[in-house]
Amino acid sequence: MSEQVLLIEENNGIAILTINRPNAMNALNARVFEELDQFFTQRYDDLSLKGVILTGAGEKAFVAGADIKEFAALDLEGGIQKSKTGQDVFFKIERFHCPVIAAVNGFALGGGCELAMACHIRVAGMHARFGQPEVNLGLVPGYGGSQRLVQLIGKGKAIEMLLTADMIKADEALALGLVTHVTDPGKEVEKAYEILTKIASKAPLAVKQVIALVNAYYDKQTDGFAKEYTDFGYTMATEDAKEGAAAFVEKRPAQFKGK
């Protein structure tokens, strides 16, 4: 039986997904993409799931890139299809109904950096390193790196990273806004779990719509302001909104049901 490439553990409505290819620095191969796609497709609208943590096995790498061995036989059409398939999986993560946090425990390079950026929040250990080194291979990013890196850190620094292929350390990633927290090594998942536990106490339908609204800002086909007033009306009519208002008035914790 072949080794599991995606380990899944779930506690209190929070799933921890561990990419399990430590001997390959957790490089993204076709099987990893298939298993990520399967998880995020099957749980896409499962409101019992309150959050997801993505991390890598071992201490060296979150994901050190794509599996370059799979690139050798690709031609023009094969390259286009491989890129599109990866982007489709990462869009499912970005558009997932509950928060997905990347717990970056080492190298996040190329496809690994792109995977982390597709998550809603990024937590990094002090030894983490980020980079998009595709130009070293005569390539450009294929899984959204040229777009999300600009969104997260701005055009100037993004284009410098993309053109030089330089890696940045966790503290610089924090200063640039690429990550939101830096932890001691080995504490990345713990910090991510802490954040998700807080979010899990909020109204799940409101959490879902907030994620969709933030994504709408970057969707050129969507009027984000119009979506906001529509979603405000939608959430206003939910049972959770009535419960939230009642709990506020009665000075008690709200008991949200996702309705």
**Residues belonging to the active site:** 114, 134
- Residue 142, both tokens: 């294929």
Report d(CA 62, CA 55) in Å as an integer.
Answer: 6
The strand order across the sheet containing 129-131 reads 61-63, 107-109, 129-131, 168-169
Tokens describing residue 186? 């080995």
CA distance readout (Å), 155 to 113, 140, 176: 17, 16, 12
- From residue 38, give the alpha-carbon distance in Å to each of 5, 20, 33, 43: 13, 16, 8, 9
The 3-state DSSP class for residue 125 equals strand
Nearest-angstrom CA–CA distance, 112 and 45: 25
Positive or negative: CA dihedral 122, 86, 16, 211? positive
CA dist., res. 72 & res. 70, Å (int)? 6
